[in-house]
Homo-oligomer: A and B are copies of this chain.
Amino acid sequence: MAGNTFGTLFKLTTFGESHGPAIGGIIDGCPAGLKIDADIILHDLSRRRPGQSMITTQRNEPDDFEILSGIYQGVTTGSPIAFTIQNKDQRPDDYAAMKTAYRPSHADFTYDQKYGHRDHRGSGRASARETAARVFGGAIARQLLSNSGIKIDAYVSAVGPFKMSDNYELVDFSKIESNIVRCPDAELANKMINYLEELKKKGDTTGGVITCVIKDVPAGLGEPVFDKLHADLGKAILSINAVHGFEYGSGFAGAAMTGSEHNDLFKKQGSKIVTSSNNSGGIQGGISNGMDIFFSCCIQAGFNINDGAENSE
């Protein structure tokens, strides 16, 4: 089965290898009449881009994109939106060493088993560069959701042993971009940076946790049974390179709570029904209840014994 499509009504199909001519994708199902701000796409692509600091991998590509269809005079037409992102930095030779060994914790071995070959120029299709196409799709989706008043923020809540408190309500989202690890706690961010730089000197790296908060989602979204809102969110997040876990609401810690502690009691707030706590993470029975949706995922370190490159790209 092909596995390069995500979504049903708003559907993203992506393509591209890390060291081929380009990566990109097609968004099918985006409604007509949506005004698209190209700067938001560029901004999101730059945020994703590795090589922004000494910390992450050195490859530095501006990630210019081209839109081939579906947007006319800055507005979506209802037709599929096709886009490409050039790979300006194709360096097949740097990776020659890989020809002889499977890199640990990479997809070299499994792709070889599945497809009978592997692309030794970088990670090929399994490269984290693939996520640039997701970021493009997300930048369109975010503009669509923003029209409905939905706000999405995410930040790094842990790097190695350094962890923020679990309570996202204490977080000042405006501080997320103020440091290169994107941890809104300035003091902790410094510790994270120092730790990463020390590891880097030893040719090592580490993992971390990202927390995401979605505000002002109307109640009633999501499907029952197999396509629960958090199950689809979980699949999306788990499909990102190096993610090894997903939890929402009270998550793994919440499993130790008693039912009486964990229950989110309903109450009236003006004409609206809300819950007095939010251990459910904004989702009950797989359907949004109007409270904040929040979740975390963990990302494992990759480490290449052959050339010291990190697993991202």
CB of A257 closer than 8 Å to a CB of B:
yes
Cα separation A285 to B13 with both chains bound (whole Å):
18
A68 lies within 8 A of B239 (CB): no
A77 lies within 8 A of B22 (CB): no
CB of A5 closer than 8 Å to a CB of B:
yes
A48 nearest CB across to chain B (Å) = 16
CB of A125 closer than 8 Å to a CB of B:
yes
Within the complex, which residue of B32, B230, B251, B283 is in contact with A298, where a contact is CB–CB below 8 Å?
Answer: B251
Interface bits A116-127 vs B (CB < 8 Å: 1, else 0): 110100011110
Within 1-42 of A, Cβ neighbours of B (below 8 Å) are at: 1-6, 8-11, 13-17, 20-26, 28-29, 32-33
Interface bits A211-237 vs B (CB < 8 Å: 1, else 0): 000000001111111111011101110
Task: Give the chain B neighbours of A302 by CB distance below 8 A.
Answer: 259, 262-263
Cα separation A106 to B265 with both chains bound (whole Å):
10
Known contacts A105-B263, A239-B286, A247-B298, A1 near B223 by CB under 8 Å = yes
Cα separation A257 to B221 with both chains bound (whole Å):
37
Q: Which of A33, A69, A161 has the most CB of B within 10 A?
A: A69
B22 lies within 8 A of A69 (CB): yes
Q: Can you sample 29 A-B contacts with CB below 8 Å?
A: A1-B227, A2-B28, A2-B80, A3-B227, A5-B11, A5-B28, A5-B226, A13-B13, A15-B28, A15-B79, A77-B124, A79-B119, A80-B125, A104-B266, A105-B280, A110-B288, A111-B285, A158-B255, A160-B256, A226-B235, A230-B238, A234-B234, A234-B246, A239-B286, A244-B255, A246-B247, A258-B303, A259-B310, A262-B303
